[in-house]
Amino acid sequence: MTPLVCLSDFECEAARILPADRAAYLFGGSGDEVSLVANRAAFDALSLLPRMGRDLAGGHTGITLFGVRYEAPIIAAPLAYQRLFHAEGEIGTARACAAFGLGYCLSTLSSTPMEAVRAAGEGAPQWFQLYAQPRVADTLALARRAEEAGFSALVITLDAPVNGLRNREMRAGFTLPPDVRAVHLDGFARAQAVEGHPVFDGLLQGAMTWAFFEQIARASRLPVLAKGVLHPQDAVLALEAGASGIIVSNHGGRALDGACPALAALPKVVEAVAGRVPVLLDSGVRRGTDILKALALGAHAVLLGRPLVAALALGGAASAAQALRLLIDELAVAMALSGIRTLEEVSRALLWQERP
């Protein structure tokens, strides 16, 4: 096999070996995949303006977020049902992140119980992503369970109150196999079709609102992050509702097709937040240089979605760790070649041309 030397190599290889319907579930976007493609194009449209001749001794990729030290500004994005891709599932990706001192965010729709994932994290910081459930009490119970299990932040996802219409996945006929399920939802009420409109009156039962966000933030001792923000005004509403962090994201192009790339939305969100809380970004990050570009536009860290799970599919925790190693090394090389010693030095001056 040709050596896997960057994240897209892992994605190509996983797409080759996975059953077609699971590959469509992992790699597909919604609709015509306009937002999926636009996420990458937004990174490629930015150029770096490197500096030469600087003393880079003592340089490193570390950052501090919510008072916790991370080896690099890379956090595993919450991704549902990881046992679809490898028997180790969420345990595999969590182990890989812990091995490198990187953050890990576990999905509500995990196929492994959160307590087992927490144990696999070996003391590394892990966050829990919360989807609103049709019954308010179930959502609050999930948040409490995560707090008791030792997760250090809650990530409330706002951009998928209903699933996007993921046409690639539909064409491939993807359905969950009997041995993989969202284990945290056992015993919870499911959204029910009711008289009236199936989307607005049915599937949206219990959907997240800013008022509910505030209720959860007040009830929890943990920092609560708002994931899926694109509009600067929503960032302000999130702060008013008690958010301790904002994740700019278009759900990796899986929610509203045609939504702007997360990277394009980032500068205005950063401006609106005005340094009050950390701003993170996901959707399309594949290279160390992508991380530098996001940080240059004001992000404090990035989340990594599909490539990490693609690596998991190839060989469990060991392959996921290999992919993370490559990305951290890419970031270090990109920093060195840009004349950046530590990530605190990254600013818009690193960009050759700012996006309008």
Contact between 76 and ligand FMN per CB under 6 A? no
CB of 109 to ligand FMN, least distance (A): 4
Q: Which one among 73, 78, 288, 298 touches ligand FMN, defined by CB under 6 A?
A: 78
Structure tokens at 144: 């409490």
Residues 6+ apart with CB under 8 A from 281: 247, 248, 249, 262, 263, 266, 294, 299, 301, 302, 303
Q: Judging by DSSP bridges, how do beta strands 126-130 and 68-70 pair with one another?
A: unpaired
Dihedral (Cα; 313, 328, 67, 105), 10-degree rounding: -10
Distance CA 255, CA 166 (A): 8
Q: Judging by DSSP bridges, how do beta strands 68-70 and 279-281 pair with one another?
A: unpaired
For residue 304, the surrounding DSSP H or E stretch is strand 301-304
The stretch near ligand FMN (CB under 6 A) out of 52-60, 72-80, 92-100, 289-297 is 72-80
The single-letter code of the amino acid at 194 is V
Residues 6+ apart with CB under 8 A from 161: 132, 203, 204, 207, 208
CB of 290 to ligand FMN, least distance (A): 10
Contact between 285 and ligand FMN per CB under 6 A? yes
Considering 86, 184, 251, 300, which one is annotated as catalytic? 251
The stretch near ligand FMN (CB under 6 A) out of 9-17, 64-72, 229-237, 299-307 is 299-307
Distance CA 25, CA 140 (A): 29
Q: How far is C-alpha 249 from the chain's CA centre?
A: 8
Q: Which one among 281, 301, 304, 320 touches ligand FMN, defined by CB under 6 A?
A: 304
Structure tokens at 204: 């949206």
Q: What residues between 104 and 163 interact with ligand FMN by CB under 6 A?
A: 107, 109, 129, 157
To the query of whether residue 60 is one of the catalytic residues in this protein, the response is no
Structure tokens at 329: 């090394």
Q: What residues between 160 and 219 interact with ligand FMN by CB under 6 A?
A: none
Asked if 312 contacts 86 with a C-beta cutoff of 8 angstroms, the reply is yes
Contact between 313 and ligand FMN per CB under 6 A? no
Packing angle, helices 210-219 and 136-149, rounded to 10: 40
For 247-271, the DSSP string reads EE--GGGTSSTTPPPHHHHHHHHHH
Contact between 239 and ligand FMN per CB under 6 A? no
Contact between 284 and ligand FMN per CB under 6 A? yes
By CB under 6 A, the count of residues binding ligand FMN is 23
Q: Which one among 254, 287, 293, 300 touches ligand FMN, defined by CB under 6 A?
A: 254
The stretch near ligand FMN (CB under 6 A) out of 76-84, 188-196, 212-220, 322-330 is 76-84
Structure tokens at 96: 């890989």
The stretch near ligand FMN (CB under 6 A) out of 71-79, 202-210, 238-246, 343-351 is 71-79
Contact between 251 and ligand FMN per CB under 6 A? yes
Q: Which one among 95, 118, 168, 227 touches ligand FMN, defined by CB under 6 A?
A: 227
CB of 306 to ligand FMN, least distance (A): 4
Residue-wise burial string across 163-191, b where 16 or more C-beta atoms lie within 10 A, e elsewhere: ebebbbbeebebeeeeebebbbbeeeeeb
105 vs 120, beta carbon nearer ligand FMN: 105
173 vs 275, beta carbon nearer ligand FMN: 173
8 vs 322, beta carbon nearer ligand FMN: 8
Coil, helix or strand for 302?
strand
The stretch near ligand FMN (CB under 6 A) out of 41-49, 51-59, 207-215, 283-291 is 283-291
Active site residues: 251
Please report, as ranges, the residues that interact with ligand FMN according to CB under 6 A. Answer: 25-26, 39, 77-80, 107, 109, 129, 157, 227, 249, 251-252, 254, 282-285, 304-306
